[in-house]
Amino acid sequence: SSDSTTIRATLFPGDGIGPEIAESVKEIFKAADVPIEWEEHYVGDQIDPRTQSFLTWESLESVRRNGVGLKGPMATPIGKGHRSLNLTLRKELNLYANVRPCSSLPGYKTRYDDVNLITIRENTEGEYSGLEHQVVRGVVESLKIITRQASLRVAEYAFHYAKTHGRERVSAIHKANIMQKTDGLFLKCCREVAEKYPEIKYEEVIIDNCCMMLVKNPALFDVLVMPNLYGDIISDLCAGLVGGLGLTPSCNIGEGGIALAEAVHGSAPDIAGKNLANPTALLLSGVSMLHHLNLHDKADQIQNAILNTIAEGKYRTADLGGSSSTTDFTKAICSHL
């Protein structure tokens, strides 16, 4: 069924509402004639010793082979002795940058209508080292690790992104007034990279001040780059400005150009299987994937159909205040293609 122009991409439908929203993506991509053939992989029911998690080695190999993938929400099974599925993907595929475009959706009203920024998060180290230690009972410590290699890599990604996406400014977010050595190294790397991009403005903003400015006037920001935990916090904050994780795409970039796009919202087990889920975040993540594949026309076509459907307001899922089913919302998007 695949011809020479078909691109193979890995699809992890994920848990809970994952399969339904993945179905919606497949349908819309098909209706838009996107030349993608999906290779579906599921979360296993056994721990794969090669990944120490419920994700199988074969499914990771699929992303490595294809170079691109799309991932639905995955609920990490409760219990000990295995790694979180999200962290397994980041570590095993060396997904070093998490990129989240965040823009006000025309037609979906929040307190903000002027958000148009990109958060770029270092995704492999920092506070996520996993190194923790009990010194004595009642005294515990955890290690934050910042390396020159990972900081340069994500900074380079951010400036390159800014340059190739017509963005004007990169803001490095930090707390180097307190963590002078770790966040200091991160800033030093950003400054080094900034010198190579004289056409892109560069500034440094302390994280607490950044959060205050974001809620007062998000239009002040363009591209933000930051260590892992700050990225975790700020990307969710920014998603909140435009409506939440159900509406915002995410894409992870790995070494060798791998891209794994993902919906970062939860698996919503309470509404799973009920045809109520909103596929927007997974769809927009699919759109990021298409951009990554240089299928910009298809990407724009699908993105416009999604935004127009939401703006029109006739078909909206319950989380957006409507009463449409997932399948009706999907059909409405197809009709806007």
Ligand X SMILES: CC(C)[C@H](C(=O)O)[C@@H](O)C(=O)O
Q: Does 264 bind ligand X (CB under 6 A)?
A: yes
Nearer to ligand X, 177 or 180 (CB): 177
Q: How far is the CB of 229 from a copy of itself (least distance, A)?
A: 7
Cβ-contact 143, 192 below 8 angstroms: no
Exposure of 232 in the CB half-sphere (CA atoms within 13 A)? 10
Q: Based on C-alpha coordinates, what's the Rg of the chain?
A: 20
Q: How far is the CB of 314 from ligand X (least distance, A)?
A: 32
Q: How far is the CB of 208 from ligand X (least distance, A)?
A: 5
Q: Does 124 bind ligand X (CB under 6 A)?
A: no
Nearer to ligand X, 36 or 69 (CB): 69
Q: How far is the CB of 264 from ligand X (least distance, A)?
A: 5
Separation of first and last alpha carbons in the chain: 24
Q: Footprint of a copy of itself on this chain (CB under 8 A)? A: 84, 110-112, 127-128, 132-134, 137-149, 175, 177-182, 184-185, 207-209, 211-216, 229, 232-237, 239-241, 243-245
- For 15-24, b/e burial (b = at least 16 CB within 10 A) is bbbbbbbbbb
Contacts of residue 240, defined as CB under 8 A and 6 or more positions apart, other chains included, come to: none
User: Which residue is at the shortest CB distance from ligand X?
Assistant: 232
Distances (CA, A) of 31 to 23, 71, 276, 307: 12, 20, 21, 16
For residue 180, the partner it binds in a copy of itself, ligand X, none, with Cβ less than 5 to 8 A by kind, is a copy of itself
From candidates 113, 208, 255, 270, binder to ligand X by CB under 6 A: 208
Helix (H, G, I), strand (E, B) or coil at 183: helix
Closest CA to 317 of 289, 278, 287: 278
Q: For residue 336, how many other CB atoms are within 10 A of its CB?
A: 18
Question: Binding string to ligand X for residues 228 to 257, with x set by CB under 6 A, is what?
Answer: ----x-------------------------
- For 134-165, b/e burial (b = at least 16 CB within 10 A) is eeeeeeeeeebbbbeebbbbbbbbbbebbeee
Question: Binding string to ligand X for residues 68 to 87, with x set by CB under 6 A, is what?
Answer: ----------------x-x-
> Which tokens belong to 48?
């794969």
From candidates 178, 212, 215, 311, binder to ligand X by CB under 6 A: 178
Nearer to a copy of itself, 39 or 192 (CB): 192
Nearer to ligand X, 194 or 260 (CB): 260
Q: How far is the CB of 90 from ligand X (least distance, A)?
A: 8
For residue 138, the partner it binds in ligand X, a copy of itself, none, with Cβ less than 5 to 8 A by kind, is a copy of itself
Q: Does 142 bind ligand X (CB under 6 A)?
A: no
Nearer to ligand X, 26 or 100 (CB): 100
Q: How far apart are CA 301 and CA 258, in angstroms?
A: 23
For residue 86, the partner it binds in ligand X, a copy of itself, none, with Cβ less than 5 to 8 A by kind, is ligand X
Q: How far is the CB of 247 from ligand X (least distance, A)?
A: 15
Contacts of residue 326, defined as CB under 8 A and 6 or more positions apart, other chains included, come to: 20, 21, 23, 24, 275, 276, 277, 278, 279, 317
Q: How far apart are CA 95 and CA 113, in angstroms?
A: 31
For residue 311, the partner it binds in a copy of itself, ligand X, none, with Cβ less than 5 to 8 A by kind, is none
Residues that bind ligand X in the complex, under the rule CB under 6 A: 84, 86, 177-178, 208, 232, 264
